[in-house]
Structure 1
Amino acid sequence: MDFDAVLIEPRRAAMVAAGLWLDKTADDFFDACLATNPDAMALSSITVANGARRDLTWAQLDLLANRAALGLRKLGVGRNDVVTCQLPNGWEFVATYLGCSRIGAVFNPVMPMFREHELRFMLRHGESKVFLVPKLFRGFDHEAMAEAMQPDLPDLRHIVVAGGAGANSFDALMNTPAFDADLATITPETRLGPDDVCQLIYTSGTTGEPKGVMHTANTMYANLAPFADRLGMGADDVILMFSPMAHQTGFMYGLLLPLMLKARFVLMDTWDKAMAARTIEGDGVTWTMASTPFLLDLTGAMEELGTDPQSLRIFLCAGTVIPGPVVERAQHVLGARVISAWGMTENGAVTTVLPSDPSQRAAQTDGVPLPGIELQIRDRDGQPVSDPGFEGDLYVRGCSNFGGYLKRPHWNNVDADGWFDTGDIARRDAEGYIRICGRSKDIIIRGAENIPVVEVEAALFKHPAVQTVAIVGYPDDRLGERACAFVVPKPGQSLSFDAMTAHLKSHDFAIQYWPERLELREALPATASGKIQKFELRRQLREAMGL
């Protein structure tokens, strides 16, 4: 695979000269962990369904990473080959990523909730050579799904199944008979460099297909270093991650960040508020990061169970607005600072409030830029506007900007001066704090997950009863937003909510992408050119809901 990460080289010299690119990889940071204290506890991996856990030292994790590297090489994986991983949070995910990095392979995490519709595109577009899946996860047979797709994916040579029993099992992958002899073939020369694409991660957009975001070690660690410094994080932290590591939140802040800090990290494969509360108490968790629904759940669980959250120092909340009462209640119950933040898959966290800020800042703003990041708010003519309170298009420029979209450089949205068009609308106050006001791109964020509106609309258009459809978001206290489908049925036809969801299920859409409300109309508001006025639909919906 040739990676067209065209946004890296033009800014390399300036980023290195400014000390923003560290020229270190995950391998370099792991080596430092191993050299400092190989027998220190590194990773605790918890399976929520049965409460099982596996605790690993840095030395033990190193051994598993080497076994994964050799197993992948045995399958023919080499430099710049893409390995797609749909595993839930756990030691297997971590070992696979580290193994990929040691043999120069590119890691492609995909969400466990994805099904055939999303995966066929991602695996084909990324030319994935190996696909790692769980046998069963949340009652779904991922192995059967993967095997059914394989004939349609010419580049996919191997399926590896965690929890499987056959020759394609993860256990078989990790079993290299000539381990000691083969280990000598993995050297620093086989590793990825700091400017090599090391992560390919897909994000939904308005283009009608997912976009393959390319990151290097330099772009990701350029975010993590100032992020950790701002929040006062170090080797004494214990990081809990329950957000999926196939999402940039889980990957960067649940895996890469603790490696950089030499800090212990605790992974939960699914969300369970009671187990999270007990884990924070039992493992002395100091830091975690997730969206508002998780904060609400955790606060409630701590109250219900009476567990002790005294170790928890920071809950960083991103992805959705945090209502003021939620911040106040959480800080009272947890005793931790609630830090609001905003970012994107393409950049990692871009803004955060400061730990020294008054608590209401987290409810009122999304923070100020991290060092190495610049923001611009532009008017409709593309001109920067510095007036406080002006709402305009948000542009970002800086060290953690991605390398580009795989095979779609014309979508990179970066101008000649290096400014990236985020597609979001924001305002800035007199002190430089921003607030995300909305999105110019057609995406709904439900529980910190982007809903690919264009794709879902396209699928609903295929229903025989649908003449016109438009999907818009509406506010939700728990998830931030939910989706509503406005449908104009064909003459003499109708559409029920159950029929709509059954149709989307038949098209293999993940349930999280299904609209949770259906409104039937005789017509939809539109411009003279026929473009549907979604802002008017949002207004109508809010009015109908009394919002």
Structure 2
Amino acid sequence: ARTAPAAPAVAAPAAAGELPAAAPAPPRTLPERVREHARTRPDETAVVTAYPDHETALTWRELAAEVDRAAALLLRLGVAPGERVAYQLPNQAEFVVMTLAALRIGAVCCPVMPFFREREVGFALRRSGARVLLLAETYRGRRPAEELAGLPAEDTARLEHVLVLSDSEESARLPGTDGAFRFHDWHAALAAGEADAARLDARTPEPTALAQLLFTSGTSGEPKGALHRGDVLARAAAAEIRQLGLDDSDVVWVPSPLAHQTGFLYGMWLALELGVRQVLQAEWDAKRALSVLREHRATFVQASTPFLSDLVQVVEGSGQAPPVLRVFVAAGTAIPRSLAERASRVMGTAVCGAFGTTETCLATLSTPADAPAARWGTDGRALDGVRLRVVDDAGRVRPPGVEGNFEIRTPTAFAGYLDRPDLTADAFTEDGWYRTGDLATLDADGYLSITGRVKDVINRGGEKVPVSEIEQLLHAHPAVAEAALVAMPDERLGERVCAFVAVREGDRLDFPSMQRYLDQGRVARHYWPERLEVVDSLPRNAAGKVQKFVLRDRARSLAPQRGRRVETEQEKVGGA
């Protein structure tokens, strides 16, 4: 039997014992909740995967059985309690199964965004130390398993088993390996052994065990691995359920990537807690989404603004609205007022603003009962147990309506950053408040409005772009003297990426050349700049620091031209 990996080095938030009162930890883990649903409603539909041209479905009984089979497979592969299990899958039932299987035996879920390529996947494997990885045989014309086989040895040094999910139940096409790790066909591996319920039950973890490792986007340096406990995630889902009055009559639609906290927690996990049907959108297509919403009579969704924008456009064009879509929580990017008004008018859906981070889960949320201007004109009010404050640089609380640094104190805070107690400590004030890095105001009624950023962040359709990493990569180009990335406003995605580059004397760099360079670097297309501006030099202050506010002003003036833009893979999935 394998021993558990060393406990990750994290530092608890200051004054953690003084966090606001919150609901007690749930008495059951999420897999226990699923087994309860399998007993009480065995033949009701639990998970639907809506592919572009067909659907699959699992009942609660079938889901529980699949989870036990997958959990038994993980045990046969020697997965120990607390060990990180990685998986890179689009929105499909196997993602749900793998999540529950890992949690069933006390392992830590480490989902990886499906659009990540070798550069990002290699980092996640190296930092997580995962021995087991599940990935799709094909994804949008790529072959992730073959990409994996080409990774540097240091990225896969701890990897032992790669499970490949074929496009059908026929055997996957497995690449060869040099013996560093083994490839297995997912379906064949599942069928190779039986699930021993007693052995699985003996591995049931405590609700307070670590459950999730999510890597942040690395906007200010190397991506950080945020760790969450199972009871904290359950508490976060329960807070949204209470705030919105969701119940077992709801149907949850999940177009957001399950590997992102929005889809993982406020789509999949929330539906499993409620015991209701979740409808997974395997690939983003607004027309397909509308048919899915109509067929399954979905009532709730949380997703970034581009999903809402695309859906509204299709509804307006077809004259057909989702019949019972009651609540659309738009998180990740600001909601344009005109879009919220259109959505309310053409779909009859309450569009609610919200604010959250990977580290804190949702902190604020408006409700359908709020006045329209507050519902989608702000980022909502604090959820149960959450406290908010806006302070100046000295830590003094600002009066209502006055901008300052936005901080959160919450019972849904993360356990810490993987192996980085220093960064964990830096994320909190001495008295235990999480520093969001955002500027905001709080009005007299407690409604939050995010007004700006302290951190250097580009938020593209709800996905944070790793600014520092891409800048460093561009700096390494032989023709580049210096480079800086800034946000360029965009009506659909909120922001796109504009690169300002000064080239070396006698050299040149054009947009296609930059694309080829980033492609050779195996960088996810979602992170490629969509505009290149070649300049003589970057503006700097007296201390030599790049004045990004000057570049952002230039980017704003360039945005309407939409010139030299590439349709990236993210464009095709609605900013997910």
> Could you say which TM-score interval applies, normalised by the shorter chain?
over 0.9
Find the partner of 1:6 among 11, 16, 20. Answer: 11
* Cα distance in structure 2, aligned partners of 1:250 and 1:173: 27
Aligned to 2:23: 19
Q: Which position in structure 2 is the counterpart of 1:301?
A: 314
Q: Contact 2:487/2:552 (CA < 8 Å) preserved in 1?
A: yes
Kept after mapping to 2: 8 A contact 1:394/1:422? yes
CA contact (8 A) 1:414 1:420 kept: yes
1:319/1:448 contact within 8 Å kept: yes
Query: What does residue 528 of structure 1 align with?
Result: 542
Using the TM superposition, give the Cα deviation of residue 384 of structure 1 relative to its aligned residue in structure 2, in angstroms.
2.1
Greater CA deviation, 358-367 or 207-216? 358-367
The answer to whether the Cα contact below 8 Å between 2:363 and 2:382 also exists between their aligned partners in 1 is yes
SS at match of 1:486: strand
CA separation of 1:66 and 1:544: change in aligned 2, threshold 3 A: closer
Correspondence 1:155 to 2:161: no
Partner amino acid for 1:331?
Answer: S
| Closer, same or farther: CA 56–150 of 1 in aligned 2, 3 Å | farther
Partner of 1:174: 190
Task: Tell me if 1:56 matches 2:38.
Answer: no
Instruction: Give the conservation status (yes or no) of the 8 Å contact 1:392–1:426.
Output: yes
Q: Which of structures 1 and 2 has the larger relative contact order (alpha carbons within 8 angstroms, sep 6+)?
A: 2
Whole-Å separation in 1 of the counterparts to 2:372 and 2:152 = 51
Aligned twin of 2:140: 138
C-alpha contact 1:195 1:216 (8 A) present in aligned 2: yes
TM-score scaled by length of structure 1: 0.95
Aligned partner of 1:28 in structure 2 is 32
- Contact 2:405/2:440 (CA < 8 Å) preserved in 1? yes
Q: Is the 8 A contact 2:489 2:559 kept in 1?
A: no
**What CA deviation, in whole Å up to 9, does each residue of 1:24-70 have, x standing for no partner?**
4212322332232122211111222xx22211111100000001001
Q: Please, which of 284, 300, 304 is the counterpart of residue 291 of structure 1? A: 304
Q: CA deviation at 1:231?
A: 0.5
Partner of 2:177: none
**Rounded Cα–Cα distance in structure 1 between residues aligned with 2:388 and 2:79:** 40
Residue of structure 2 in register with 1:428 after alignment = 442
Q: Which residue of 2 aligns with 1:398?
A: 410
1:445 maps to 459
Give the match for residue 379 of structure 1: 392
Distance 1:313 1:544, change over 3 A: closer
CA contact (8 A) 1:102 1:192 kept: yes
| Residues 113-170 of structure 1: CA deviation (Å, up to 9, x unaligned) | 1111111111111101111110001111111012222733111001110002557111
Name stretches of at least 5 consecutive residues in structure 1 with no aligned partner.
none
Alignment of 1:267 with 2:280, yes or no, is: yes
Asked if the contact 1:40–1:58 (Cα under 8 Å) also holds between the matched residues in 2, the reply is yes
Partner of 1:317: 330
Deviations 1:197-242 (A, max 9, x none): 1100111134421110100112112211121111110111000101
Q: Does 1:410 align with 2:413?
A: no
In the comparison of the two structures, how many residue pairs are matched? 540
Letter matched to residue 11 of structure 2: V
Matches of 2:270 and 2:88, distance apart in 1: 21
User: 2: distance between equivalents of 1:228 and 1:258?
Assistant: 10
User: Structure 2 vs 1, CA of residues 217 and 535 (structure 1 numbering), >3 Å: closer, same or farther?
Assistant: same
1:14 Cα shift? 5.6
Q: Paired residue for 1:389, among 397, 401, 404?
A: 401
Aligned partner of 2:251 among 222, 229, 238: 238
1:236-288 Cα shifts (integer Å, max 9, x gaps):
10001011100000000121101111111111111111111011111111111
1:496 aligns with 2:510: yes
1:543, distance to aligned residue in structure 2 (A): 3.5
Residue 544 of structure 1 and its aligned partner are, at CA, apart by 4.5
Tell me, yes or no, if the aligned pair for 1:474 and 1:483 is still in contact at 8 Å: yes
1:438 and 1:465 map into 2 onto residues whose CA distance is: 33
How far is 1:96 from its partner? 0.7
C-alpha deviation, 1:193, in angstroms: 1.7
- The partner residue of 2:131 within 129, 132, 156 is 129
When normalised by structure 2's length, the TM-score is 0.90
Measure the CA separation in 1 of the matches of 2:355 and 2:297.
27
How does 1:183-222 map onto structure 2 within 5 Å?
Answer: 183-187=197-201, 189-222=202-235
**Superposition deviation, residue 19 in structure 1:** 2.5
- Name the counterpart of 1:116: 118
Contact (CA 8 Å) 1:240, 1:254: kept in 2 or not? yes
Equivalent residues of 2:490, 2:559 under 8 A apart: no
Q: Return the offset for 1:360.
A: 2.6
1:507 and 2:531 are equivalent in the alignment = no
Instruction: Say if 2:486 and 2:555, in contact at 8 Å, map to a contact too.
Output: no
- In the other structure, the counterpart of 1:482 is 496
| Closer/same/farther in 2, CA of residues 204 and 371 from structure 1, 3 Å limit | same
Indicate conservation of the 8 Å contact 1:20/1:399, yes or no: no
For 1:342 and 1:308, the matched residues in 2 are separated by 27
Please name the residue that 2:469 is paired with.
455
Question: Structure 1 residues 375, 24: closer, same or farther in 2, change over 3 A?
Answer: farther
| Separation (CA, whole Å) in 2 of partners of 1:463 and 1:83 | 35
Q: 1:516 corresponds to which residue?
A: 530
1:44 to 44, 48, 55: 48
Aligned identity (percent) is: 39
Greater displacement, 63-72 / 145-154: 145-154
Deviations 1:417-436 (A, max 9, x none): 21111111111222221111
> 2:357 & 2:380 partners in 1: Cα distance?
14
Letter in 1 for 2:396: Q
Q: Relative to 1, partners in 2 of residues 1:545 and 1:251: Cα closer, same or farther, differing over 3 Å?
A: closer
Q: Once the two structures are superposed, what CA deviation does each residue of 1:448-470 show, in whole Å capped at 9, x if it has no partner? A: 00100000000000111111111
Kept in 2: contact 1:6–1:404 (CA 8 A): yes
Q: Cα deviations across residues 382-440 of structure 1 (Å, max 9, x unaligned)?
A: 3221x122221111111111111001111121123211111111112222211112221
Match of 2:378 among 356, 365, 390: 365
Aligned-residue Cα RMSD (Å) equals 1.9
* 1:76 paired residue number: 78
One-letter code aligned to 2:284:
W
The one-letter amino acid of 2:89's match is L
5+ residue gaps, structure 2: 167-171, 175-182, 562-576
Residue identity opposite 2:203 in structure 1: T
